[in-house]
Amino acid sequence: MQAWKLADAPKNDKFQYTHFAHKINSFDTAPKKLLASDSRLRPDRYALEQGDLSKAGFEKSSLEERQRAEKKNREEKGHKFTPKWFDFANEVAATPWGDLEVYQYNGKYTEHRAAIDGSSSGEEIDIKSTEFNPWQYEDLAAN
């Protein structure tokens, strides 16, 4: 009895991704009105897919600089980062990398998606034209 079989590698695959990895990273499987924070929109990921390693490195570095600047700004203002789609479970898990807070899904993304998917707007949106924006502080420029 065979319990599992490795699927053939996808054709024209440069990065040895599985079919599943291609599917979850594809715009073809993306929901309409993709969130601006969806990783499919990351410019570094897109540049890497296109084989432009120099641009991918630059974009990754830019994202990391922006992330550090936002964290610094948040800490200076005394704000705490609060995830939108997860709530703290009042639990801490010990890991080899230290203690980590445990979060649980709060269902708000499902509600958000249902509202978007059920909207009567017939407006077609080009998903690829959505700019990647995971930032809490919209107007923050990297220092």
* Global model pTM greater than 0.85: no
Report the chain's mean pLDDT, rounded to a whole number: 86
Least confident of 2-6, 80-84, 94-98, 115-119: 115-119
pLDDT tens digits, 93-141: 999 999 999 999 999 999 998 988 887 665 666 777 788 888 866 665 5
**What average pLDDT does range 49-70 have in this prediction?**
93
What dihedral angle (degrees, nearest 10) is formed by the CA atoms of 139, 137, 71, 140? 0
What is d(CA 78, CA 107) in angstroms, rounded to the nearest whole number? 27
Helical residues (DSSP H) of the chain, grouped into ranges: 19-25, 43-49, 53-76, 108-117
- How would you class 44 by CB atoms within 10 Å of its CB: exposed for 0-12, middle for 13-18, buried for 19 or more? buried
